[in-house]
Chain A
């Protein structure tokens, strides 16, 4: 297993455009998380899935953000009508079954909105 992979690694988009990011978790992991990280800050929780069910969403996740995990494997995070404030690193992580397992992170997608 090659770990958590995210695509693309970098995305530059114009304000108002829609963008979609993909995350492929470690194959046997049933929980998947999205975080956002801005410069000089720690990762902030956005949402998480257990299998295909989205179980928690942060208040940070405005109506312009939507995440899916249709078959309980890969996940997508879409941002509609991007704003400059959306510029950040978007990190995906996955964990296996068990409360004491750590989150394994992908390398992130850096979004720049111009």
Chain B
């Protein structure tokens, strides 16, 4: 069964520091991969997605992620954290043969002043 693993339910960084949120997917066939952000009592907003082509994907708000097939990983990074980045982040995958998006458990990002 498909599964997405996000390492670390909470990550805390200082403002201006590097943000690294880890994600590993389970699919043996390269899937479509997504990162979403969720603010309190809101729906999910897409940050970026990987479908095919370039393995380094740039998204909104300065975030980017790199698809590494050999590591089955799709880690999310941002060079310099901003207070407004504090939120819950979800990694997700969809198999190329399916329509269902499967989500990880999420990582809550805290940004300290």
Is the beta-carbon distance between B34 and A107 smaller than 8 angstroms?
Answer: no
Say how far A51's CB is from chain B's closest CB, in angstroms.
12
- Chain A residues lying within 8 Å of B36, measured Cβ to Cβ, are 105
Interface members, chain B 62-98 (any A CB < 8 Å): 90, 92, 94, 96
Does B99 contact A43, Cβ atoms closer than 8 Å? no
Evaluate contact between A31 and B99: CB separation under 8 angstroms: yes
Question: Which residues of A sit under 8 angstroms from B105, Cβ to Cβ?
Answer: 40-42
Apart from A33-B101, A99-B99, what are 11 other A-B pairs with CB-CB below 8 Å?
Answer: A42-B103, A43-B44, A44-B103, A45-B101, A50-B99, A91-B44, A102-B34, A103-B44, A106-B43, A107-B43, A108-B41
With a cutoff of 8 Å between Cβ atoms, the chain A residues found around residue B42 in the complex are: 107-108
B103 with A105: CB separation less than 8 A = no
CB-CB contacts of A24-51 with B at 8 A, as 1s and 0s?
Answer: 0000000101010000111111001010
Bound-state CA distance A103–B96 (Å) is: 14
A-B contact count (CB 8 A): 62
Q: Are A42 and B90 in contact (CB under 8 A)?
A: yes
CA A95 to CA B51, docked complex, whole Å: 15
B52 at the interface (CB under 8 A from A): yes
Residue among B32, B45, B46, B99 with most chain A CB within 10 A: B99
A79 to B77, CA, bound (A): 39
A sample of 29 inter-chain contacts (CB < 8 A) reads A4-B43, A33-B100, A40-B9, A42-B4, A42-B92, A42-B103, A42-B105, A43-B90, A44-B103, A45-B102, A48-B99, A48-B100, A55-B99, A56-B99, A93-B44, A95-B99, A99-B32, A99-B99, A100-B49, A100-B51, A100-B52, A102-B49, A103-B44, A103-B101, A105-B45, A106-B43, A107-B41, A108-B41, A108-B43
Q: A69 within 8 Å of B by Cβ?
A: no
